[in-house]
Structure 1
Amino acid sequence: MNQATAPKPDAVRRLKELGALAPGGDFALEPTASGPLDGLTFAIKDLFDVAGRVTGCGNPDWLRSHQPAPRHAAAVEKLLAAGACAIGKTITDELAFSLNGQNFHYGTPLNSTAPDRIPGGSSAGSASAVAGAACDFALGTDTGGSVRIPAALNGIFGIRPSHGSVDDRGVMVLSKSHDTVGWFAREVDVLAKVGDVLLPPDTGEDAPFGEVFVARDAWALADPAVAAALDPVRDRIIAAIGPSVDMTLAADCGGLSAWRAAFRFLQMREIWAEHGAWIEREKPQFGPEIAERFAMSREAAAKTDTGEAELRHLITRRLDDMLAEGGILLIPTAADIAPLKSMSASDSAGFRDRTLSLTCIAGLARLPQVTLPGARVGGTPVGISLIARHGRDRALLALARRLAV
């Protein structure tokens, strides 16, 4: 395995300009072989192991209390073996537990499309690096929207693959049954090429996509200006794929707010099971919002499941059946444009709740979701998302490629 080499000065300078460079992230990893990603550069979210370096996970106490990784994360190894060159590590929200991209300790990476607004998180540095042209693509993770949201807010492409489809060895676990390894790119062709390296062959039937499900309750969560900007994009996608079905996704099982609540409860229980012992032992300093979420996770772990797991099973069955024969679910990626960095706590909570009500759909059902740059509202990007049945990741990327032309 190759070790980290001297950093590439131009790449490091650009990452620093963007505020995207993670502590200790100024190194390079040369390709280990030639392959389909020859000549492409990528950045690595600071949740992925790099041999000989401590994975910092966005928190100084995590960095202090962990040992250097013995080897690269599996996804990093595959990308290097396919000819890509890593330019360094990027900032993440603390332990990936946020959608904002505002790290209390290390700062907020730049949203180069809207410098006064947040980049979105938790894969904030990776999204900023791609949107700011520091690299061709970047690795992120997506549990509750941590690739999809920053991709949308920065006007780039992003994918959350089917749960379990990309090897996540050597990546910090947040919530095991929700975590995925995802990535960003400015060009859809690059997004798909990375998928050719990281994704297994598609599973199940290979019927062409031919039906679009438009969920009224999901679109109702979007700010009116966002929905209006995405209307013509939605119509163009429908025209390219086939007939559409106008429907309400969660009408008979509590609405999307109930889906969001179930997602958060199940996620927080898993998070505390994974990290509670470390938190109680090390007593790390977290930023105020992150500290509050871990306290809520402790409380969730002490509570009894009141039907949340069964609701997840119901949602999974429903979406699998709905998308079984070439169906695509079409939704806004985020509920609004990127909020201002100066937003109030209540505005932050409102953005998070509405957006999680959208991202929890694929998260609960473990489905692949690709977000495309959709439109702009007041000069600020908004994204539109395609969700397919579990295991149809390559077909979904091929569809995104076709639609982005």
Structure 2
Amino acid sequence: MVVDTVGAFCPHGRFELSGAPAGPLAGRTFAVKDLFDIEGRVTGAGNPQWLATHGPARQTAPPVAALLAAGARMIGKTITDELAYSLNGDNIHYGTPRNSKAPDRVPGGSSSGSAAAVAASLCDFALGTDTGGSVRIPGSFCGLFGIRTSHGTVSTAGLVPLMPSFDTVGWFAREPGLFQQVGEVLLPEVAPSSLPTRLLIVSEGLELLDHEARLVFRNAVDALGDCFGEVATISIAGAAGLAPWRDVFRIASAHETWRVHGAWISAHGDSLSAPIAERFAFARSITDADAADARRKCAELGRSVRVCVETNTVLCIPTAPGPAPMLDAKGQAVEEFRQRAQRLTSIAGLSGLPEVTLPGLAEFAGLPLGVSLIGAAGADRMLLALADKISRSS
């Protein structure tokens, strides 16, 4: 069994499953976020009380089963923020996985253990989930390739839900070729398509960056010009910016997660850390009328984004507002950073579109800063091929 040098694995997740003797991923190893069911094992969802109040899974989640069938070997289950309701990557019960690329900074969540395991080379790739940024943000903080898939493209059966209307499966890898290979196993087959020729830089994304990181990010994006026939900057949100986008996402998704988990939280909420308990308290306060209004606005904003990527086009944004916050950071600055991050992640979240975060293109003060590309619905394989092309040409 692999030695966990970064605290990536949960205590009940220290077991392995062999993959098929042959397949496209034979010889590769992977880890699984502790939201995915494994037959005969209890899924912990980042909370010991959840672990204690649920029985063993009857079958393995389809994405895990597909990877095993493709020959990959699973080496364990990784830490998640409690019920995946955070972007920080810490867990008061199991600890904060170490970010190998920035040991004094957070790894990002909620797929923190999966990102930490890949960044530390404990495995070749790892499964995570992304509802409001939970693959994209740790991918950026830990310097990894990461993908949020098109909503509904990869099965979420056998997955502890957070907000089903927004939940997606994603994964991390260090190598662009393997990043694409995993997609060939998990994503549905589609007709081959040419790579996009237009790159549209979202101006609101630039405005949300830490001031010191803007020039670094802009230089990284300028270097992508050789991979596209046209590069331009557009606005998608107008004068109000992305703050309202974050607000409607937060209201609609919170209302949904209370419908999913409210009964369990009412019975066992005292087992949650204060920040997670506070989020569920907010979720409980959302009225049906407010949620219906938010869902209507979500649909409108989502349509406005999908129109932008209809033909040979990808959008480009910073994955996060800047490098990972310090482990001991507290107060208003941390909350303000988190809100900016959620404004960025809401673009793909509201539109149901795939987004990849690319490492190595931008760094600030030696710290990773992800560059994200958003494609059309179902264009996940195209984005993975584009990520591979960009990485090889940079």
Q: How far has the Cα of 1:322 moved from its partner?
A: 1.3
Supply the distance in 1 between the matched residues of 2:22 and 2:285 (Cα, whole angstroms): 50
Identity of matched residues, %: 47
For the pair 1:320 / 2:306, whether they are aligned, the reply is yes
Query: Which amino acid letter does the alignment assign opposite residue 217 of structure 2?
Result: L
Partner residue, 2:105: 117
Partner residue, 2:11: 23
Q: Residue 268 of structure 2: which of 271, 278, 282 is its match?
A: 282
Q: 1:113 to 1:246 in 2, by over 3 A?
A: same
Query: Which amino acid letter does the alignment assign opposite residue 320 of structure 2?
Result: A
The answer to whether the Cα contact below 8 Å between 2:128 and 2:171 also exists between their aligned partners in 1 is: yes
The answer to whether the Cα contact below 8 Å between 2:142 and 2:368 also exists between their aligned partners in 1 is: yes
Give the secondary-structure state (helix, strand or coil) at the position aligned to 2:18.
Answer: coil
Partner residue, 2:216: 229
Q: How far has the Cα of 1:269 moved from its partner?
A: 0.6
Partner residue, 1:393: 380
The answer to whether the Cα contact below 8 Å between 1:273 and 1:301 also exists between their aligned partners in 2 is: no
Partner residue, 2:42: 54
Query: Which amino acid letter does the alignment assign opposite residue 350 of structure 1?
Result: E
TM-score w.r.t. the length of structure 2 is 0.96
The answer to whether the Cα contact below 8 Å between 1:61 and 1:284 also exists between their aligned partners in 2 is: no
Q: Residue 358 of structure 1: which of 334, 344, 350 is its match?
A: 344
Supply the distance in 2 between the matched residues of 1:23 and 1:306 (Cα, whole angstroms): 40
Q: How far has the Cα of 1:307 moved from its partner?
A: 3.2
Aligned residues: 391
Supply the distance in 1 between the matched residues of 2:287 and 2:185 (Cα, whole angstroms): 37
Give the secondary-structure state (helix, strand or coil) at the position aligned to 1:375.
Answer: strand
| Equivalence map 1:78-157=2 (5 Å) | 78-157=66-145
Give the secondary-structure state (helix, strand or coil) at the position aligned to 2:11.
Answer: coil
The answer to whether the Cα contact below 8 Å between 1:33 and 1:80 also exists between their aligned partners in 2 is: no
Unaligned runs of 5+ in 2: none
For the pair 1:349 / 2:307, whether they are aligned, the reply is no
Q: 1:391 to 1:299 in 2, by over 3 A?
A: same
Q: How far has the Cα of 1:243 moved from its partner?
A: 0.9
Q: How far has the Cα of 1:306 moved from its partner?
A: 6.5
Q: 1:239 to 1:132 in 2, by over 3 A?
A: same
Supply the distance in 2 between the matched residues of 1:207 and 1:313 (Cα, whole angstroms): 29
- RMSD over aligned Cα atoms: 1.4
Q: 1:302 to 1:213 in 2, by over 3 A?
A: same
- Deviation per CA, 1:157-195: give whole Å up to 9, x if none: 000010000011111100001000000000111110000
Supply the distance in 2 between the matched residues of 1:30 and 1:306 (Cα, whole angstroms): 46
- Worse overlay, 379-388 or 207-216: 207-216
Q: How far has the Cα of 1:239 moved from its partner?
A: 2.7
The answer to whether the Cα contact below 8 Å between 2:99 and 2:107 also exists between their aligned partners in 1 is: yes
Q: How far has the Cα of 1:219 moved from its partner?
A: 0.8
Q: Residue 182 of structure 1: which of 154, 170, 179 is its match?
A: 170
Q: How far has the Cα of 1:154 moved from its partner?
A: 0.3
Supply the distance in 1 between the matched residues of 2:94 and 2:334 (Cα, whole angstroms): 19
Q: How far has the Cα of 1:303 moved from its partner?
A: 5.2
Supply the distance in 2 between the matched residues of 1:306 and 1:57 (Cα, whole angstroms): 28
Give the secondary-structure state (helix, strand or coil) at the position aligned to 1:329.
Answer: strand
Query: Which amino acid letter does the alignment assign opposite residue 87 of structure 2?
Result: L
Partner residue, 2:205: 218
Give the secondary-structure state (helix, strand or coil) at the position aligned to 1:307.
Answer: helix
Supply the distance in 2 between the matched residues of 1:202 and 1:215 (Cα, whole angstroms): 28
Give the secondary-structure state (helix, strand or coil) at the position aligned to 2:12.
Answer: coil
Supply the distance in 1 between the matched residues of 2:218 and 2:335 (Cα, whole angstroms): 26
Q: 1:362 to 1:327 in 2, by over 3 A?
A: same
Give the secondary-structure state (helix, strand or coil) at the position aligned to 2:75.
Answer: strand
The answer to whether the Cα contact below 8 Å between 2:210 and 2:322 also exists between their aligned partners in 1 is: yes
Supply the distance in 1 between the matched residues of 2:174 and 2:269 (Cα, whole angstroms): 39
Query: Which amino acid letter does the alignment assign opposite residue 43 of structure 1?
Result: A
TM-score w.r.t. the length of structure 1 is 0.94
Supply the distance in 2 between the matched residues of 1:317 and 1:102 (Cα, whole angstroms): 34
**Structure 1 stretches of 4+ moved >4 Å:** none
Q: 1:33 to 1:266 in 2, by over 3 A?
A: farther
For the pair 1:240 / 2:251, whether they are aligned, the reply is no
Unaligned runs of 5+ in 1: 1-7
Q: How far has the Cα of 1:61 moved from its partner?
A: 0.8
Query: Which amino acid letter does the alignment assign opposite residue 224 of structure 2?
Result: I
Supply the distance in 1 between the matched residues of 2:214 and 2:190 (Cα, whole angstroms): 32
Supply the distance in 1 between the matched residues of 2:289 and 2:329 (Cα, whole angstroms): 32
The answer to whether the Cα contact below 8 Å between 2:198 and 2:314 also exists between their aligned partners in 1 is: yes
Supply the distance in 1 between the matched residues of 2:327 and 2:290 (Cα, whole angstroms): 37
Partner residue, 1:334: 320
| Equivalence map 1:232-271=2 (5 Å) | 232-251=219-238, 254-271=240-257
Partner residue, 1:4: none
- Worse overlay, 26-35 or 58-67: 26-35
